[in-house]
Copies of this chain bind each other. A is one copy, B any other.
């Protein structure tokens, strides 16, 4: 029969990748794409973001998996492909990870923790809702563009996760959602934003940011920084708070 991954100790695969660290520096050469999703051609970026992963081989495998999953998708990627990209034999993978799915889980977990962290820090970077929203969108979008390879896996391969892992990740996603919704609520409360459907608008904003990972490609005409700026502006407009501070836009409540 088919032995399921036994619970034997095996180096304890659960690594403690310091999600934070100086990771958001990166390719300043990214740019926009078209309506067509990335097709393997690109899907590459300086992924030194995983520098913290403990055994060197484990890090190389993780990096190889990110590239492969982003290019071809989780199910279309073979363990042989991952191992060979990492310069190892197929069997070597199983020394560091119990299953192919665990690789995806690690990528997804670290990526989502990073997302929550980016949104949290942006949210704490200012007091007025408009600046908090602009900062959050700018940073979140920039990350999705700069780290589009990772982000593509993080955002679009969720369904391949095992049930228990999926549940854990969804909890992190809800946190992101709540942070954004909180900003909108505050903005409406202090009269800085004009939003009828807060929950719906929060979802739309998040969706807009996330989808950057799908279409962004290096070699286009816009840098991640520029797209972040564009999107922050668009989102401020969406909530009725034109960029540049809407001091004069405030209705005096009669």
Residue A177 at the chain B interface, CB threshold 8 Å? yes
A176: B residues at CB distance < 8 A: 35
| Nearest Cβ on chain B to A211's Cβ, whole angstroms | 4
Classify the secondary structure of A's interface with B: helix
A39 touches B207 (CB 8 A): no
Among the listed stretches A19-27, A89-97, A183-191, A195-203, which one makes contact with chain B, having 4 or more residues with CB under 8 Å of it?
A: A195-203
Among the listed stretches A54-62, A70-78, A80-88, A128-136, which one makes contact with chain B, having 4 or more residues with CB under 8 Å of it?
A: A70-78
> How many copies are assembled?
2
A75: B residues at CB distance < 8 A: 72-73, 75-76
- A37→B155 CA distance, assembly (Å): 8
Residue A15 at the chain B interface, CB threshold 8 Å? no
Residue A237 at the chain B interface, CB threshold 8 Å? yes
* CB contact under 8 A between A35 and B177, given known A73-B75, A207-B212: yes
A170 touches B206 (CB 8 A): no
Interface residues of A (CB under 8 A from B): 32, 34-40, 72-73, 75-76, 156, 158-160, 166, 169-170, 173-174, 176-177, 196-197, 199-201, 203-204, 206-208, 210-212, 214-215, 222, 227, 230-231, 233-234, 237-238, 240
